[in-house]
Amino acid sequence: MTTIEVTEDAIRQTRELRDEFQRFLREYEFGMREVETKISILRDEFLHDHSYNPIEHVKSRLKTPDSIVEKIARKGIEEPDFDRIREEITDIAGVRVTCSFVADVYRLFDLLTKQDDITVRTVKDYIAAPKPNGYKSLHAIIEVPVFLSTGPLSVPVEVQFRTIAMDFWASLEHKIYYKFSNRVPSHLVESLSDAADAASELDARMERLHREAHGVPRKQLPAPAPRVVQV
């Protein structure tokens, strides 16, 4: 009888933990939806008011429970609870915005982060200062309010902005490193670096073509504001 009671109690505790974890992840899902809605509104406004769509596509993802556990281990978080996880892991919810041109990346970043209910926590500009392997993207951790039945909650969401060329390069680099279990032969690493340079040149060339096709002289376009990379 005692064994049955202990087993039932253990099952109840496990279910409660599961339910609490699901509620925890839903907070991030709701935050992710809020950011998706804001970006969708910006895209529709550009289409209707400017007859131009600077956004090629948008992808979103939530970290899986296994991925969260792995990151807890990598960060050396001891005795983690949900409050500690909220504080230490800020990329549980992620939105990736792929733009046509570099200028669009900075423009959309500014339009999103200047909204009154958005708080910017960190910015890492790997376009102005690429990673040593050639990776380019503009990363921002923002906080967006989510209004629940229990009251408002500020949820962190990682938003990545990149061009089509940057996105293609990053996807290929990820597949190569996955195939070789992060032990990529040196000649492939060099080729990836060369490909990153080629992608950067392609971005610049396509943007020049776009400006010329629309009759916009280079000198009339404001240069992107320099950004501080926070590591």
56 has pLDDT over 90: yes
For the segment 36-56, the average pLDDT, to the nearest whole number, is: 91
70 vs 77: CA distance, rounded Å: 10
Q: Between β-strands 151-163 and 138-148, what pairing exists: parallel, antiparallel or unpaired?
A: antiparallel
- Write out pLDDT tens, residues 119-146: 999 999 999 999 998 999 999 999 999 9
Mapped onto helix, strand or coil, the DSSP state of residue 138 is strand
224 has pLDDT over 50: no
Q: How far is CA 173 from CA 179, 184, 224, in A?
A: 10, 10, 27
Q: What is the pTM of this model?
A: 0.83
What is the model's pLDDT at position 27?
95
- Write out pLDDT tens, residues 20-39: 888 999 999 999 999 999 99
32-53 burial, b at 16+ Cβ within 10 Å, e below that, comes to: bbbbbebbeebbeebeeeeeee
189 vs 173: CA distance, rounded Å: 9
131 vs 200: CA distance, rounded Å: 13
Q: Between β-strands 138-148 and 119-125, what pairing exists: parallel, antiparallel or unpaired?
A: antiparallel
What is the model's pLDDT at position 120?
97
Active site residues: 158
2-220 CATH: 3.30.460.10
